[in-house]
Chain A
């Protein structure tokens, strides 16, 4: 009997494959996307009505959730002004819980007012809206708080949670998504928000998600077995938006900062989620004096895994950027010694 229970336990908690979008490869989200586009002029004044419009013509929860997610990510903009204001005050009051609480309560009102009026918000507003609309469509969905890492977040000052995203239960399984990062980016010139939907943040693979998302509550990694520690997360390489388009996981190097000796191999291994040609894999190597693009000779693609080996001939400190064609995937630093 005990063994039986153990097997059931193992079956439920261990043998459940990681949940990701490929589980829904038999579903086309075209219709859901069309509906999201059709109602682009809707406001947030009547949420139940909005949910009804977005979901009533769709047959599966996955499609219904997709329509909601797509609508939010293509209609709610990221408000950098609010973000800066919040960051400043959270930093200012971080050692004064009473002031921080007062600020949070005040800021919350500002955030919801802005969301309703201008359809613009910051992370938590996105996550809140996804949860609220999904719940109205009778889909189980939660907000997850934790840490998010990008190339511009100074990790040394990252001492409290800075990001929110969602988990959603579809066909009895939890999935990850990040509506804020799926919606768009700052325009490189004007620094204003621009919409640019990123498919990779919808039902993402938990393995790659864990490289730059670290939930406060461990179970929301949705990973089997051991989960990364906070130090692992802080030391991990920087991955970019496009990484989510090509890869489902990142194995080596495990750290952002690496030290090797001259002519010693450094290996990069990532798990692919779509086909990549070996000739498209390139590295941009930046030293204090120059930047050069190289097509490494030792690239292999086997069993959905991309492996690159590279040797540095000269000592120095290098920023190494991994690209697929022109798409920036990840950054590492390598210190090469004698």
Chain B
């Protein structure tokens, strides 16, 4: 007996939407040897704990991100082996981190920049000798 399969209209729509999603979605899971860039994550801390607001930039480019309250960051663009990340924060020694072939996660510890703090105030006040009389 011949069975007649009817496909409800709703299913057609669903199939169409599925096709559209696959068509416009970039493919993941390429062969690793052909992989050019990858998304790098990491954390930045000082010896006391995570640091918030640290700038992480790609050296020579104006591309970068800032760490969150847990000191974490996800670099917004895919990085290649050999790229250098500059990690800097006011009052700490900046460090440069080179992305190696097997780098997927960056763990940076910044140390305080030890600076002897001094200050001589400028003035236009005219000198006056101290006189006895």
Could you list which residues of chain A lie within 8 angstroms of chain B, going by C-beta atoms?
44-49, 52, 56, 78, 80, 82-83, 86-87, 90, 104-105, 107-109, 111-112, 115-116, 122-125, 128, 132, 135-136, 143, 145, 147-153, 161-164, 180-181, 184-186, 188, 238, 240-242, 286, 288, 317, 319, 321, 328, 331, 333
Contacts and interface: CB of A to CB of B under 8 A. Distances in A.
B127 A151 contact: yes
Interface string B42-83: 000000000001010100001010100000000000000000
A109 B122 CA distance: 24
A46 B118 CA distance: 25
Contacts of B120: 123, 147-150, 153, 162-163, 180
Q: Is the interface of A mostly helix, strand, loop or mixed?
A: mixed
- In the A-B complex, the 10 residue pairs with the closest CB atoms: A122-B119, A112-B91, A148-B120, A123-B119, A163-B120, A151-B127, A331-B127, A48-B57, A52-B62, A181-B122
Nearest to B86: A48
Contacts of A123: 118-120
B64 A48 contact: yes
B14 interface: no
A184 B129 CA distance: 25
A332 to B, nearest CB: 9
B122 A112 contact: no
A185 B119 contact: no
B116 A161 contact: yes
A111 B117 contact: yes
Contact of A124 (B86, B94, B115): B115
Given A47-B90, A52-B62, A124 B116 contact: yes
Given A109-B91, A112-B90, A288-B131, A163 B119 contact: yes
A132 B92 CA distance: 10
B1 to A, nearest CB: 73
B62 to A, nearest CB: 4
A83 to B, nearest CB: 5
A78 B121 contact: yes
A108 B92 CA distance: 11
Contacts of A151: 123, 125-127
B131 A48 contact: no
Contacts of B94: 132, 135-136
Contacts of A286: 128-129
Contacts of A333: 129
Contacts of A241: 122, 124
A234 B67 CA distance: 48
A333 to B, nearest CB: 6
Given A104-B116, A108-B112, A152-B121, A49 B64 contact: yes
Interface in B93-133: 94, 112-129, 131, 133
A177 B73 CA distance: 37
18 contacts: A46-B66, A47-B55, A48-B57, A48-B86, A48-B88, A82-B119, A109-B91, A111-B91, A123-B118, A123-B119, A124-B115, A151-B123, A162-B120, A163-B119, A181-B122, A238-B127, A242-B124, A328-B124
Given A44-B90, A86-B118, A288-B133, A185 B124 contact: yes
A45 B94 CA distance: 14
Contact of B118 (A161, A242, A288): A161
Contacts of B117: 86, 104, 107-108, 111, 122, 124-125
Contacts of A116: 90
B122 A185 contact: yes
B88 to A, nearest CB: 6
A180 B118 CA distance: 11
B88 A162 contact: no
B127 A319 contact: yes
A136 B118 contact: no
Contact of A136 (B88, B124, B128): B88
A46 B53 CA distance: 8
Contacts of B123: 150-152, 185-186
B88 A47 contact: yes
